[in-house]
Amino acid sequence: MGRPGLALGTAGKIRLHPTPSGHRAVAWYRDYDGQCRQVERSAKTKAAAEAALRLALRDRARFDAAGDITPDTRVSVLAEAWFTGLKNLSPTTMQAYRNRLDRQILPGLGSLRVRELSVGTIERHLRRIADEHGPAMAKMTKSVLSGVCGLAARHDALDRNPVRDTGSLQTPAKKAPKALTADEARTLLTELAADEHARRNDVPDLVAFLLATGCRIGEATAVTWNALDLDAGTVDITATVVRVTGQGLVRKSTKTASGARTLLLPSWCVAMLRSRAGRIGASQEVARRAMPVFPAPRGGWRDPSNTQVDLRAAFSTAGFGHITSHMIRKTTATMLDHAGLSARAIADQLGHANSSLTQDVYLGRQVASTRAAAALEALRPPAHQQ
């Protein structure tokens, strides 16, 4: 009976041979393609030659012959392979991942070999990012790095994903969310309407729309005239505007099914939108249908980031320098909460996905509650703003 063959990924007995310059260690290894190949390493002493061969056999055992990622692959190559394989992600997510690779992972770890990605090495790298850029940046970097190392593990270039064994990153306690009162919201709208610079940047109407709907800035800037039904008093929220490197401003569909929604508008918001439509002119009725309701001052899609700058400046001039655009969205949610609407109805208004599988999958939520529009009537601006 013949000697049994080597199992896949295993080596035979190590043999040592003298050479003019030292010693050579040799062993047969059965690769994952089923072929047995001779592996050898040389050194000045027997012990050194054998140690070098055992290290080579260990790394070879991690090699997946079906792929091109090995323990000796550079992390920079591994990271690019991971990023290239990403599918069905939003442009903003792809851009965020690209930024973390280019700004945190590749500069700090890109020159390492995959086999050098130890738990300690990654832990120190993440801690340094947390110290220099904050815990939030470190957490996103950790998420991206976990995906990169997961790819290496699937190719057997790593025994396991070392990112999973790193310590948790402490984040500061979240502050309780704040919101404006109805009186403060009305005062804000009044001050914005009186500010010539804010009017020139088309801030008053935009803020009024944000208060009336609870939309995100990107969603509001993506609303087109054909998404409005002013007779029914509704708006379809189906897209958002984002900036993508190399493409500029892009209007894309909402990320989740719950983000696509039809909202009923309070009557004062409908009146404001009718006034805007009138300023465009009836002769442009057909041409304006696919135009943004809140375009950039020079036309085209309005950049959400630039809009944030405009809002901060306008809020400061109006005496509300302490608030943020997110507080506008929180104000809408708080008004609905005070009016007695359920958490489900508020989530529908804001475009939040619910954690309940039953509500997410089996309940049709095409139009948000009519009580939402009624509750938001309390934010009606003074008559001179109509």
d(CA 266, CA 365): 19
Question: 244: which strand partners?
Answer: 248
Residue 121 pLDDT > 90: yes
Cβ-contact 379, 271 below 8 angstroms: no
Count of positions (residues) in the chain: 386
User: How confident is the model at residue 359, as a pLDDT?
Assistant: 33
* 351 φ/ψ sector (left φ>0, alpha ψ -120 to 50, else beta): left
Report which DSSP code applies to 101: I
Residue 198 is encoded by which pair of tokens? 């804010």
- pLDDT digit string, tens, across residues 160-213: 999 999 988 776 665 656 788 899 999 999 999 999 999 999 999 999 999 999
Radius of gyration of the chain measured on its C-alpha atoms: 30
User: How confident is the model at residue 363, as a pLDDT?
Assistant: 28
d(CA 358, CA 360): 6
Task: State the burial class of residue 161 (Cβ atoms within 10 Å of its Cβ: 0-12, 13-18, 19+).
Answer: buried
Q: Residues spanned by CATH 1.10.443.10 within the chain?
A: 182-385
Report which DSSP code applies to 323: -
Angle, CA 355 vertex, CA 350 and CA 357 arms, to 5°: 115
d(CA 177, CA 30): 61
Element (H, E) at 239: strand 239-244
Q: Which residues of 371-384 are buried (b: 16+ CB within 10 A; e: fewer)?
A: bbbebbebbbbeee
Report which DSSP code applies to 144: H
**Strand 239-244 versus strand 228-229 pairing type:** unpaired
User: How confident is the model at residue 119, as a pLDDT?
Assistant: 94
Cβ-contact 60, 45 below 8 angstroms: no
d(CA 72, CA 158): 10
Cβ-contact 23, 16 below 8 angstroms: yes
User: How confident is the model at residue 325, as a pLDDT?
Assistant: 85
Residue 103 is encoded by which pair of tokens? 């700004």
Domain 75-165: what homologous superfamily? Tyrosine recombinase, N-terminal domain (1.10.150.130)
- pLDDT digit string, tens, across residues 7-42: 767 889 999 999 999 999 999 988 766 778 899 999
Residue 137 pLDDT > 50: yes
Q: Residues spanned by CATH 1.10.150.130 within the chain?
A: 75-165
* 301 φ/ψ sector (left φ>0, alpha ψ -120 to 50, else beta): beta
Mean pLDDT of 113-142: 93
Cβ-contact 171, 292 below 8 angstroms: no
What is 182-385's CATH number, 1.20.1260.10, 1.10.443.10, 3.10.20.340, 2.70.70.10? 1.10.443.10
- pLDDT digit string, tens, across residues 214-224: 899 999 999 99
